[in-house]
Structures are given as C-alpha cells and as structure tokens.
Amino acid sequence: MAKMTAIEAAVLVLEKEGVTTAFGVPGAAINPLYAALEKRRTIRHILGRHVEGASHMAEGYTRAEAGNIGVCIGTSGPAGTDMITGLYSAIADSIPILCITGQAPRARLHKEDFQAVDIAAIAAPVTKWATTVLEPGQVPRVFQKAFHLMRSGRPGPVLIDLPVDVQTSVIEFDIETYEPLAVWKPAASRAQIERALSMLNEAERPLIVAGGGIINADASDQLVQFAEITGVPVIPTLMGWGCIPDDHDLMAGMVGLQTSHRYGNATFMASDFVLGIGNRWANRHTGSVDAYTKGRTFVHVDIEATQIGRVFNPDFGITSDAKAALDLFIEVALEWRDAGKLKDRSAWAGRCLHLKKSMLRKSHFDQVPLKPQRIYQEMNEAFDRDTCYVTTIGLSQIAGAQFLHVYKPRNWINCGQAGPLGWTLPAALGVRAADPDRKIVALSGDYDFQFLIEELAVGAQHKLPYLHVVINNSYLGLIRQAQRGFEIDFEVSLAFDNINADPNTTAPGYGVDHCAVAEGLGCKAVRVTSPNEFKEAFERAHALMDEHQVPVVLEFITERVTNIAMGTEIHNVNEFEEILCLDPNLDLSDVEGTGLSEHGGKKEPQPA
C-alpha cells in the first residue's frame, strides 16, 4: 500500500484500464486531476475549445477502434452541463465514454457555491451511471466500477463528479495488485439459436438486419460468415453500415425513410422473415411499425433484454451479445449445412442482387451551381475502400448514406439517434487521435460545420489532419425540406451578402466564408464551384493535408434547394430527382410501393 492523493490513484487506475488519451478543458475545480496527469505524463491530453466538442472527440475516439474508451475532462458547473449533449449522443448509440468533472468542495455543495451544480442528477438520464464521489477512499474503486459498467452489457457512458477536496485528500492504495473487473455480457443458448435458425429456415425470403451492436461487438467477420453459410442477404442499419462490404453480393442495401437505398427498401418489402441482430428498430429505419412488420416474421437478438419488445414485440427474442450469438449461429448453421438441412437461397439472393444492380439513383449532374449528388459520385471515385467517413445529421448525411460506399466496420462513424449538429468536426478529430494512419473524410452541411467550427484550431494545434467535405447550400437543408409540409420556408436560410467575400471565389449571397474561417483557425481550405474542378480539388486537398498535417476543408458550393429522397413510409419514398433503372424489364409487381414511375414532381425553384 502506498500513500497518494485520491486523484493520483484515479490516474493510476486510468492507466491500468488502458487509457492513453483524454480530451478536455482545465479549470479550477479539476486542476488537481491535471496536476496528476502532468506529473505522470502517461496519458496524452488534447485541449478542446469547447467542452461539448471535447466530449464528441471522446466519442469519436471510442468509435474508431474496438476496445477504446474515450475520456473527457472538465471543471465544475458549465463544463459538466456542456458534456450532456455528448453523453446523450453516446448513450443513444451505445458508446462508452467516461466524463470526469470537478466539483465544489463537499462543505459547499448545498450553499450555491460558484459553479456548483448537481451534475450527477442532471446526467443521470443520459448515462449508465452518474455519481458524485463524497469519500476519498472510494475514488479508485468508483473508477474501477465505471469501466466495468461501460464495458458490460449494452455499452454506454459514465460520469464521475469529483469535489476538489476529495481529489486532494490523501489515501492509501495499492496499484500493483489492481485488476480491471471482469466484463459481463449475456450469451445465447444453443436451444435459442436452433429455434431462431429453424424459423429462418422455414421462410422463403429471409433477411438479416445487422445493427450497430455487431460493430460494437467486433463481430462483422462472423456476420459475413453466417450470411455466406446460409446464403441470406443482409440489410445493415445506418449504425451497422460497414459490417458487410457494400460490394458483397449478399449486401442488399439499407432500409429506411431517409438513409436508405431504393433497392434496399424494395428488397425488404419483398421479404417474409427478418433476423435482427444488435439493432433497435429505429423509427428512421422502420417508418410505421404496421407497414414494416406486415406479412413478416421477426426474430430479435440484442444484448439488452429490455430492448426486445421496446418498439414492437418480435415473434422470438434472444438476449445475447452479438458476437456470442453469431458464433453459435455459425456453429449450428455449419452442422445443418453439412447435414443438408439448410434451404438453397440462391434464387432469392440472386433477385436481391439484381435489384441492387438495377434500382439506382442518378448522381451524374453537370450543372452549376453543383448538385450534391454529383459530389458524392466524385467522392466515390476520389476515395478508396479504406476511407473512413464521419458525419452526423442533415441532408449531407442522408444523401451521403444514399450515394457513398462503405466497405469496412468502423469506416462509417455516424451519430445515429441523437444527431446533434456540430458533432462531425470534433468526432473526426477523436478518430484521428485514435488512429494516426486512417484515411478520414468528415462530411457536413454548412450549419453542422458552423456549430463547433472553433475545434478546427484543435486539429491545427495538435496536428490532427483529415479532410472535411462541406456541402454549402446556405440553408438548414433538412429542416427546409421538412417545412414543405407546412408550406413555409421560415428562418432556415443562412444566406447573406458577406461584405468581406471575394467576388472572384465566393458566390453572392452564400454567407459565411468557411475557407477564410478555416485558414484563420490554422487549417487549409479549398473551394469547389464547378464539376470541372473536382479532380484537381481532391488532389490539392490531399497535398495540403500531407504537407501541413492539419485539417483541410473542401467546400462545395451547391444549388440552394435540392430535395433528397425520403418519405413517411419505406414503401412510399419520394424520389424527387431522376431514377436510373438499368433493367427496364425489372418486375416489381409483387412489391408494394416501389414502382419505377414514382417521382417527386416538378423541380422546385431556386431562391433568388
């Protein structure tokens, strides 16, 4: 046993639990922790410009690699409240991050002390556990429990609040014998797997819906193996995208109201059985439950028991970690295949593949201002299979999911359920901090980019290079499109005549000069206004990033109004733009609501 301050013991526990990087903003009530970090010099610290930004960096860090847990640090009061959006984003997508806050001294907690707020109570609804530690001797064990909780069952975030006098109190602690607590995860039984596989085997047109739980469990290889053994096509959710390569013959497209493929929705509507693994039946994926479930049998596998039946009650449910379930699915499926018990799915899989090759959306537009669809086409050509995309919400994300391609797990790092604007930029920095070699492309609309644009300075200061594609239509595009239902276009325009804009490089009325701001924050930027500039712009951006090792902004000036395909039901998606069908004889007569003649009507006029 050795004597040390409680916060010094906490830093030793962080080291033992595998923490090598933290993101945060120092302050008076958390300075003892910073003193302990400075003394040890074992954990890299990246200084954010906003505590919310630092919490999103921690998220990006966790999402980048299996086993990572991002750490965010802030002082008392507003630092903790700034973290709430990051905690909400993390718990919504089952992402473990550890937020550590300083707090007023224990004797002052009830006296409305400066920046004293009950952050544990505020954070409780958006964490697996939030606690204010009142006894110094508990500090190292609270951290031990935090890591155990974050990793066990459904992953999620924890907040630890530390009064400043608790941090500085001297305790006795033996780090030499410290061991992380064993992680607990539920596992399916053989009887459950055999029941589920029997139900799948009885179906004529089965699908596997692969959710983010497969990514969290690092079980993508097992998913692909199981799909190949059974011959069953896979529909990844937005959070599961990349668990099977986009060009795999059994990757049948994504389903949903927005972030979906036309062929994915058509395939789903033709199915009669769905095996969901590690997914939560999110409403942007399902649309109305009645339309989604009609005529289909469902089996749901999820690590969290209370997720089963939360949105709708499946015909059979299994509480299990995705990897444990898939290992057993593979074992049983191999036995059944060798015994000749598995159905031949080649005709059904072939039909799904034919839909995938035929039902495409047009992306080649040559007009100026640019149409966003063309930008994604050019991104597919400019970026290779190893590219990792980072994005959050908006028409840029929705169109990106419709047109881009993802080939590996953790190469689509997306804030799914919470969708806070501003998330993309700091999350991309967190991914870069976790992996210095990955090819990272962030994707934002102009408003998402503006929300936490100051974090570009973090990338410049700490040499965290990546490419940031900004789709600039000077609109809150998704909200503008949603306002069509109210026949309004109100307070969603970001356009104004910038008195400082260079008329030679900036279109009139496009508002913020993102390139100038980026360069003012120590980064580099390239603006693209014509299809003739794509190839040179991508090459120049890569060269600037390699030379300066800072984030490089690629801003594309697009038409003001583009309606991106979406709808209120998965069988009633409004396409708005032209559709490509490479097979004019494609028969969709038995699939509800996917007729190739569907179109959104006349093109909307562009604002003056």
- pLDDT for residue 602: 52
Q: Which of 7, 12, 19, 25 is catalytic?
A: 25
What residues contact residue 78 under an 8 Å CB cut-off, 6+ apart? 51, 115
pLDDT at 506 over 80: no
Asked if 467 is an active-site residue, the reply is no
- At 279 the pLDDT is 96
The answer to whether the peptide bond before residue 369 is cis (omega within 30 degrees of 0) is yes
- CATH topology for 362-557? Rossmann fold (3.40.50)
Tens-place pLDDT, residues 349-386: 999 999 999 888 988 888 889 999 999 999 999 999 99
Q: Which helix (H) or strand (E) holds 574?
A: strand 573-574
**503, pLDDT greater than 60:** yes
Is the separation of the CB atoms in 428 and 442 below 8 Å? yes
Tell which residue, 283, 177, 271, has the closest CA to residue 238. Answer: 283
- Span 299-346, pLDDT tens digits: 999 999 999 999 999 999 999 999 999 999 999 999 999 999 999 999
pLDDT category of residue 597 using cuts at 50, 70 and 90: very low
pLDDT band at 405 (very low <50, low <70, confident <90, very high): very high
554 is catalytic: no
Q: Tell me, yes or no, if 582 is annotated catalytic.
A: no
- pLDDT category at 603 given cuts 50, 70, 90 is low
Q: Are 128 and 159 in contact (CB under 8 A)?
A: no
Q: DSSP labels for 314-364?
A: -SEEEE--HHHHHHHHHHHHHHHHHTT-SPP-HHHHHHHHHHHHHEEE---
- 159 forms beta bridges with 99, 130
Q: What is the pLDDT of residues 117-150, one digit of tens each?
A: 999 999 999 999 999 999 999 999 999 999 999 9
Q: What does the pLDDT read at residue 608? A: 62
- Of 298-307, 390-399, 597-606, which gets the smallest average pLDDT? 597-606
Predicted confidence (pLDDT) at residue 422 exceeds the cutoff of 60: yes
pLDDT (tens digit per residue) in 257-290: 999 999 999 999 999 999 999 999 999 999 999 9
Render pLDDT for 546-555 as a digit per residue (tens, 0 to 9): 999 999 999 9
Of these residues, 14, 51, 97, 441, which one is catalytic? 51
456 as an active site residue: the answer is no
Cβ contact 564:534 at 8 Å: no
557 is known as an active-site residue: no
Residue of 209, 234, 476, 526 with catalytic role: 476
* b/e map 325-336, b = 16+ CB within 10 Å: bbbbbbebbeeb
276: amino acid identity, one letter: G
At 477-493, the pLDDT tens digits run: 888 888 888 989 898 88
Share of the chain above pLDDT 70, in %: 96
**Catalytic annotation, pick one of 43, 183, 479, 517:** 479
What is the per-residue pLDDT for 480? 87
Catalytic annotation, pick one of 100, 299, 332, 421: 421
The 10 Å CB-count burial string (b at 16+, else e) for 162-195 is: bbbbbbbbebebebeebeeeeeebbebeeebbee
Spatial CA neighbour of 464 closest among 390, 384, 396: 390
Which pLDDT belongs to residue 419?
Answer: 83
Q: What is the pLDDT of residues 522-576, one digit of tens each?
A: 999 999 999 989 999 999 999 999 999 999 999 999 998 888 889 999 998 988 8
What's the distance, CA 538 to chain centroid? 24
pLDDT for 592: 60
Using an 8 Å Cβ cutoff, are 387 and 438 in contact?
no
Rounded CA gap, 12 and 36, in Å?
9
For the cut 80, the answer to whether the pLDDT of residue 406 exceeds it is yes
250 within 8 A of 227, measured Cβ to Cβ: yes
Q: Do domains 190-359 and 362-557 have the same CATH topology?
A: yes
Predicted pLDDT at 469: 97
Determine the topology of domain 2-173 in CATH. Answer: Rossmann fold (3.40.50)
- Give the confidence band of 505 by pLDDT, cuts at 50, 70, 90: low
> How confident is the model over 8-47, as pLDDT tens digits?
999 999 999 999 999 999 999 999 999 999 999 999 999 9
Q: Domain coordinates of the chain in residue numbers? A: 2-173, 190-359, 362-557
- The structural architecture, per CATH, of the domain 190-359 is 3-Layer(aba) Sandwich (3.40)
Give me the amino acid identity at 134: L
Q: At what angle do helices 424-434 and 51-64 cross, to 10 degrees?
A: 50
pLDDT of amino acid 601: 44
Q: Which pLDDT score is estimated for 366? A: 87
**Mean pLDDT, rounded, of the chain:** 92
pLDDT the model gives residue 606: 77
pTM of the model: 0.93
pLDDT of residue 76: 93
Q: Would you give the DSSP letter of residue 295?
A: T
What's the one-letter identity of residue 423? W
Tell me the mean pLDDT in the region 82-104.
96
